[in-house]
Amino acid sequence: MPDPDKVNSMFSRIAAKYDLANRALSFGIDTLWRDRLVDEVWIRNPKHVTDLATGSGDVAFELRKEFPESVRVEGLDFCEPMLDEARRKQAKAGFRNMGFEVGDILKLPLADASTDAITIAFGYRNLADRHAGLLEMKRILRPGGHLFILEFSQPHPLVRPFYYFYLKTLLPNIAGLLTGDVPAYQYLSDSIEAFPDRQGVCDELEKAGYRTVAAIPMTFGSVALHIASV
């Protein structure tokens, strides 16, 4: 499992160029993945949404734009430099009824049954203990609430050789040019390769006691949106 101190340090180093790297390395497709996530949250009509591992706030801002101002949107992350980027973007956009706070998914500073929906985009695989994280997320969800996990996955076998050639060879070098931090993106490719496939994540959700577990594959299965209820 990932070392949380190393993960925090890595994201602190790349925070200022994180958004630029995401757009470039995904060829802009990451915006479509987030749009699908937000659409699925919108269908469930929550009154309070908590975005965990919020990073620079991209998902939180899309949620804020989609929902009426009466719906509370909050973002938590354990990396302060990433939160600084999110707060800067919020101030520039002028969004209200949302906030960004420090929070570790393994020990969230939130009350039991305090939110209707949890989103976590590309942060689940970075948890030092995924089972403990799922239990903590379940703790803060209200009965009938939903968890949405957007995460890299294992693509279709025909696509997999090309996918991993890009991840392990091209991506770290391109990212190094954009951010000056090759090791951070070597970690990205290694963590994706070691991460379970869609069924594996569904099994983890069911083991943690979640119900109505489903997975939606995107982009040849290289990314999946997992949805579960409590």
| CATH number, position 73 | 3.40.50.150
Cβ 60 vs Cβ 67: under 8 Å: no
Output the pLDDT for position 27.
79
Q: Is position 10 within any domain?
A: no
Range of the domain at 37: 26-154+198-229
Cβ 2 vs Cβ 184: under 8 Å: no
Question: Which residue, 42, 34, 221, is CA-closest to 121?
Answer: 34
pTM over the 0.85 mark: yes
pLDDT tens for the 230 residues of the chain, in order:
788 888 888 788 877 777 777 777 777 899 999 999 999 999 999 999 999 999 999 999 999 999 999 999 999 999 999 999 999 999 999 998 899 999 999 999 999 999 999 999 999 999 999 999 999 999 999 999 999 999 999 999 999 999 889 888 888 888 778 788 778 778 878 888 889 999 999 999 999 999 999 999 999 999 999 999 99
Output the pLDDT for position 2.
81
Record the tokens describing residue 116, joined without a space.
């209707």
Q: Which amino acid is at 136?
A: E
Q: Is position 172 within any domain?
A: no
Return d(Cα 1, Cα 89) in angstroms, integer.
Answer: 31
Phi (first) and psi of residue 54, to 5 degrees: -65, -20
Strand partners, 151: 224
Return d(Cα 90, Cα 80) in angstroms, integer.
Answer: 15
Q: Is position 1 within any domain?
A: no
Phi (first) and psi of residue 149, to 5 degrees: -115, 110
Q: Is position 56 within any domain?
A: yes
Pairing mode, if any, of strands 115-121 and 48-52? parallel
**What is the domain count for the chain?**
1
Residue 170 DSSP label? I
Q: Is position 202 within any domain?
A: yes
Output the pLDDT for position 65.
95
Q: Is position 188 within any domain?
A: no
Half-sphere exposure of 212 (CA within 13 A, CB side): 9
Q: Is position 52 within any domain?
A: yes
Record the tokens describing residue 152, joined without a space.
């890299």
Q: Is position 16 within any domain?
A: no
Question: Given the structure tokens 């995924």, which residue do they identify?
Answer: 130
